[in-house]
Amino acid sequence: MMMIPKSLLVPVVAGFGAYASAIPQATNNLEARQKIVLGSGVQGDFASYSKGWSTCAVGTIARLTSGIHLDFQADGNLVLYQDSPREVAWYSGYSDLSLPCANPCNCVLAFQQDGNLVTYINYGTANQLATWSSKTAGVYLETGTTAAYFEIYGLTVTTTNPFIAIVDLADQVLFSTQIHIPGEPPQCLPGQSIATCYPGIGS
């Protein structure tokens, strides 16, 4: 679904050390794309979840075939890892050294019915705290649409770095870890369709 020219690749320095973060580019493997079923969980090197999905902080939430995995760590950080070479592709930025998620269901990742993807600690208690969100709740002003799917893209679906995205039913990007990098300007406009912003994916 996503592709931008390689000239727009952006190096990023993050709290985990230096890593290269790049605007994702599609493979031309349309046959592989046609096998993807939205909202159904992990499908090879792609994962998609519908609104209402949630999970406890159980370590690895989704592992894709290219070695990409999304982990909800004991410190409360949501991290997208690449195994070979071992590096961080993206992280939510919250870290509590008291390890609030050592008891997994004390922490929850939820793709809520309002369209917001949220990490919680002390879930279901009086001290419940939302520590990060995609900020995609409700109607997105630029598109007039709402979030439909939380997606994770691996290395065989993109030709650069893996990423996660929140999209509407028309595949328009409402949030992407390749667009919303802390401290970095957007690389494409919120509300732009994935096919337009990154030609070649999902076409």
Residues 93-115 have pLDDT tens digits of 888 888 889 888 899 999 999 99
* Dihedral over alpha carbons 125, 63, 180, 120 (to 10 degrees): 0
**CA distances (Å), 65 to each of 77, 84, 152, 158, in order?**
23, 12, 12, 13
Mean pLDDT across 15-37:
33
Residue 64 CA to its chain's centroid (Å): 13
- In this prediction the pTM is 0.71
pLDDT of residue 160: 63
pLDDT of residue 1: 34
pLDDT of residue 106: 93
Mean pLDDT across 33-44:
67
pLDDT above 70 (res 13): no
pLDDT of residue 35: 44
Per the model's pLDDT, the better-predicted residue between 39 and 53 turns out to be 53
pLDDT above 80 (res 61): yes
Cβ burial of 104 (10 Å; 0-12, 13-18, 19+) is middle
pLDDT of residue 162: 86
Distance (Å, whole) CA 40 – CA 27: 21
Report the percentage of the chain scoring pLDDT > 70. Answer: 67
pLDDT of residue 49: 94
